[in-house]
């Protein structure tokens, strides 16, 4: 099969012919139909996450059709369309796993990081971590739901009952979760790079009640804020924007250093918390909600041969909505 491989951080992905993967008894083999491009892929390629395997096939928002099931698989069948997220495997026996926090498993493996991902024509996956895709979504439109959607959904849940929510960094995840939040009756305030009028207009089109530069104050105090840009300074900015008891949720797996700030910004029972990965429960809930909204993903596609151009587009900040690789 054709695949895009990362040999070393900071290098371009290499398109090569490699063997089709062979799943184990608990796994499935997928013919990849689409794979979303995520900022975490950039963190891996750019060396901001330490390499754990080389070479590696990145990509962890996979939509594919099952071509083979392992001998122990009972829940999935050949011909079924499923999605594969960032969380690829957990031990199932540690304190985190048995308490419903499998996303924090110390032995967890991640798609496109520990195990080969979806920037390829085929991919193998653990059947336990494959989600059936609602028929309402095409392959390309479903792909961004598998990380951008799931992480955004988990971040939104951590905002608890907040009605006025600011989103800092209006990319793939933000454009999905804005639609879910509006469906739930929340008000979204979108913060973008200074001067990015196109993205601000896009946010308003999706239902944001206000959109502006990330260095400006919203027209009213917020109940909560979600930070999706990997910029530590935005934590301080968001603390200034939320009222007492407000919640600031950091949605990325990597962020630049958070600068020091005076205690009065945190005082008043404000909360800062992070989102770490996802659980299968998040996936099941999000796949049930998305058709009801209904979520419409704004997608730009690239062929596998242009995967580096896709990554460049995301890195530059020129992407509006989501980017998807179509092998």
Question: In this model, does residue 14 exceed pLDDT 90?
Answer: yes
Binned at pLDDT 50, 70 and 90, residue 50 comes out as: very high
Q: pLDDT digit string (tens) for 56-76?
A: 999 999 999 999 999 999 999
Question: In this model, does residue 319 exceed pLDDT 90?
Answer: no
Q: pLDDT digit string (tens) for 276-295?
A: 999 999 999 999 999 999 99
pLDDT of residue 251: 96
pLDDT of residue 30: 98
pLDDT of residue 317: 84
- Average pLDDT estimate for 77-103: 97
Binned at pLDDT 50, 70 and 90, residue 123 comes out as: very high
pLDDT of residue 318: 82
Binned at pLDDT 50, 70 and 90, residue 269 comes out as: very high
Q: pLDDT digit string (tens) for 169-203?
A: 999 999 999 999 999 999 999 999 999 999 999 99
Binned at pLDDT 50, 70 and 90, residue 255 comes out as: very high
3-state secondary structure the chain: CEEEEECCCCCCCEEEECCCCCCCCCEEEEEEEEEEECHHHHHHHCCCCCCCCCCECCCCCEEEEEEEECCCCCCCCCCCEEEECCEEECCCCCHHHHCCCHHHCCCCEEECCCECCCCECEEEEEHHHCEECCCCCCHHHHHHHHCHHHHHHHHHHHCCCCCEEEEECCCHHHHHHHHHHHHCCCEEEEEECCCCHHHHHHHHHCCCCEEEECCCCCCCCEEEEEECCCCCHHHHHHHHHEEEEEEEEECCCCCCCCCCCCHHHCCCCCEEEECCCCCHHHHHHHHHHCCCCCCCCCEEEEEHHHHHHHHHHHHHCCCCCEEEEEC
- Average pLDDT estimate for 35-42: 96
Binned at pLDDT 50, 70 and 90, residue 241 comes out as: very high
Domains observed in the chain: 2-147+278-326 (3.90.180.10), 150-274 (3.40.50.720)
């Amino acid at each position: 099969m054709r695949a895009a491989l990362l040999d070393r951080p900071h290098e371009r992905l290499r398109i090569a012919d490699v063997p089709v993967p062979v799943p184990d008894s608990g796994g499935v083999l997928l013919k990849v139909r689409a794979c979303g491009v995520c900022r975490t892929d950039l963190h891996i390629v750019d060396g901001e996450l330490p390499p754990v395997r080389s070479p590696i096939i990145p990509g962890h928002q996979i939509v594919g059709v099952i071509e083979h099931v392992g001998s122990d698989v009972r829940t999935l069948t050949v011909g079924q369309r499923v999605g594969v997220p960032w969380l690829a495997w957990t031990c199932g026996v540690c304190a985190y796993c048995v308490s419903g926090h499998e996303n924090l498993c110390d032995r967890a493996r991640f798609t496109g990081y520990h195990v080969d991902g979806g920037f390829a024509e085929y991919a193998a996956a653990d059947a336990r971590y494959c989600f059936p895709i609602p028929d309402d979504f095409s392959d390309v439109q479903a792909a961004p739901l598998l990380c951008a959607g799931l992480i955004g959904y988990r971040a939104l849940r951590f905002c608890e009952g907040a009605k006025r929510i600011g989103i800092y960094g209006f990319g793939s995840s933000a454009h999905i979760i804005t639609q879910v939040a509006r469906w739930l009756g929340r008000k979204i305030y979108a913060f973008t790079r200074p001067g990015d009028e196109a993205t601000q207009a896009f946010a308003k089109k999706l239902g944001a009640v206000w959109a502006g530069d990330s260095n400006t104050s919203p027209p009213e105090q917020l109940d909560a804020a979600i930070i999706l840009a990997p910029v530590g300074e935005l934590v301080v900015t968001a603390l200034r924007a939320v009222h007492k008891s407000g919640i600031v949720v950091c949605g990325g797996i990597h962020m630049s250093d958070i600068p020091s700030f005076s205690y009065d910004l945190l005082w008043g029972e404000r909360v800062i918390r992070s989102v770490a990965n996802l659980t299968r429960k998040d996936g099941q809930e999000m796949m049930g909600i998305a058709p009801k909204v209904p979520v419409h993903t704004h997608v730009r596609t690239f062929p596998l041969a242009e995967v580096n151009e896709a990554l460049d587009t995301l890195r530059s900040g020129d992407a509006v909505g989501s980017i998807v690789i179509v092998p």
